[in-house]
Amino acid sequence: MKMLINVPETVVADALRGMAAAHPELTVDVENRVIVRQDAPVAGKVALVSGGGSGHEPLHGGFVGPGMLSAACPGEVFTSPVPDQMVRAAAAVDSGAGVLFIVKNYTGDVLNFDMAAELAEDEGIQVAKVLVNDDVAVTDSLYTAGRRGTGATLFVEKIAGAAAEEGQPLARVEALARQVNEGSRSFGVALSACSTPSKGSPTFDLPAGELELGVGIHGEPGRERRPMMTSGEIADFAVQAILDDLTPRNPVVVLVNGMGATPLLELYGFNAEVQRVLAQRGVVVAHTLVGNYVTSLDMAGASVTLCEVDEELLRLWNAPVRTAGLRWGV
């Protein structure tokens, strides 16, 4: 598999250098692998720190900025960042109002963020944590005990980030993050495998003419393989899987997310089918986002995330945000 890289060993560092050049509004510590909003720490404001393996861009570094994350820690490709990065990030952004760690549910991330929380607390930083585990496809998986964290991460980071930006206290920001996660569900499909730079070839085999229903964002196996389906059939399956597990009483925000290699033309077409199924099921849509937000390197495919929002969550969702990957209202 050909890649636009120098050597696998420098992929993450190279990307951070390129991000620093494109985004002078961020402080990018290439050596220590921490991306921080430039005005941090913001006096009196709760700070939000997330991170995870690289290869899911714009998640998480692309979501650092006013109204969303205070800092992000990128690990090696598909590998958790280390506790040192997280502690360094927390120290850089804590104003004394405390730090919320937003952790996708993968074993390495959970262990490392747990350790980082202890270390940060030893340094006098107040830390709360929220675990994101929205993927309904499978219960346990290659990298996970329990449900995997995927698209809901964007909703947690955006909505909790807006609350923090308004000056809400740590306990409230944490409670909102938890509420967002509890009201969110995702389901993804792969049309092709992805290739990591270190392996240089597809991480799994997906035969021509088949798709993987319920794939994880690292290419982990999903529920089943089937002969290729139409966009409409995939939307039926994915939304059904979500609504088997979530009965929204409020409107939802919809994320139709590309895995990386699926053209935007196809993602918009898929969104038309997702909206059709939601309308048929009587689900009210408050807002829809279509694009590549939580990617899996060069995987072809898409995921759907629904996030149930009450008036307060919708207000926070719509609040201004200014990051590399998500921007409105400013």
Q: Binding to a second copy by residue 201, rule CB under 8 A?
A: no
Q: Cβ 76 to a second copy, closest distance in Å?
A: 11
Q: Which of 23, 56, 60, 287 is an active site residue?
A: 56
Candidates 175, 226, 261, 315; binder of a second copy (CB under 8 A) is 261
Q: Which of 23, 60, 218, 287 is an active site residue?
A: 218
Question: Across the strands, what pairs with 307?
Answer: 184, 253
Q: Cβ 276 to a second copy, closest distance in Å?
A: 9
Which residue, 41 or 260, is less far from a second copy as judged by CB?
260
Which residue, 116 or 191, is less far from a second copy as judged by CB?
191
Rounded to the nearest 10 degrees, how much is the dihedral formed by the CA atoms of 103, 108, 111, 117? -50
Which residue, 171 or 330, is less far from a second copy as judged by CB?
330
Q: DSSP assignment, residue 149? A: P
Does the active-site annotation cover 23?
no
Q: Binding to a second copy by residue 263, rule CB under 8 A?
A: yes
**70-109 footprint of a second copy as x/- string (CB under 8 A):** -------x--------------------------------
Altogether, the residues listed in the chain come to a count of 330
Q: Binding to a second copy by residue 111, rule CB under 8 A?
A: no
Rounded to the nearest 10 degrees, how much is the dihedral formed by the CA atoms of 51, 123, 159, 313? 140
Stretch that binds a second copy, among 34-42, 100-108, 159-167, 260-268 (CB under 8 A): 260-268
Candidates 70, 79, 133, 192; binder of a second copy (CB under 8 A) is 192
Of 172, 165, 215, 169, the closest CA to residue 192 belongs to: 215
Which residues in the 10-69 window bind a second copy by CB under 8 A?
10-12, 14-19, 21-22, 54-55, 57-58, 62
Q: What are the structure tokens assigned to 326, written together?
A: 């998500």
Question: Quick one: how far is CA 180 from the chain centroid?
Answer: 13
SS3 227: strand
- Give the Cα separation of 237 and 11 in Å (integer): 36
Q: Binding to a second copy by residue 150, rule CB under 8 A?
A: no
Quick check: 278 and 247 in contact, CB under 8 A? Answer: no
SS3 321: strand
Q: Binding to a second copy by residue 231, rule CB under 8 A?
A: yes
Question: Quick one: how far is CA 264 from the chain centroid?
Answer: 19
Q: Binding to a second copy by residue 251, rule CB under 8 A?
A: no
- Give the Cα separation of 2 and 264 in Å (integer): 22
Q: Cβ 267 to a second copy, closest distance in Å?
A: 7
Q: DSSP assignment, residue 62? A: G
| Helix boundaries (H) for the chain | 11-22, 83-93, 107-122, 152-165, 170-182, 231-243, 264-280, 311-318
Which residues in the 273-312 window bind a second copy by CB under 8 A?
273, 275, 285, 288-290, 292, 295, 297-298, 300-302
Q: Binding to a second copy by residue 329, rule CB under 8 A?
A: yes
- Give the Cα separation of 152 and 52 in Å (integer): 14
Stretch that binds a second copy, among 83-91, 118-126, 161-169, 228-236 (CB under 8 A): 228-236
Does the active-site annotation cover 287?
no
- Give the Cα separation of 77 and 62 in Å (integer): 16
Q: Could you give the maximum distance between any two Cα atoms of the chain, in Å?
A: 55
Q: How many CB atoms lie within 10 A of CB 241?
A: 22
- Contacts with a second copy by CB under 8 A lie at 2-7, 10-12, 14-19, 21-22, 54-55, 57-58, 62, 77, 191-192, 208-209, 211, 228, 230-232, 234, 256, 260-273, 275, 285, 288-290, 292, 295, 297-298, 300-302, 327-330
Active site residue ranges: 56, 218
